[in-house]
Amino acid sequence: MNNVLRPISLAQAKAIAEQHAFVNLESFGVTHSQLLKAESLEAECCWMFFRNEHIDVPPEAMLGIKWAYVVSKKGTYGMVQDFSDNHEKLLAYLQTMSDYFKRRGE
Position 4 pLDDT exceeds 90: no
Query: What does the domain layout of the chain look like in residue ranges?
Result: 10-104
pTM score:
0.85
Residue 84, classed as helix, strand or coil, is: coil
pLDDT per position as a tens digit, 53-106: 877 777 676 666 788 999 999 999 999 999 999 999 999 999 999 999 999 998
Position 39 pLDDT exceeds 70: yes
Neighbours of 71 (CB within 10 A): 26
Per-residue burial over 33-44, b = 16 or more CB atoms within 10 Å of its CB, e = otherwise: eebbeeebbebe
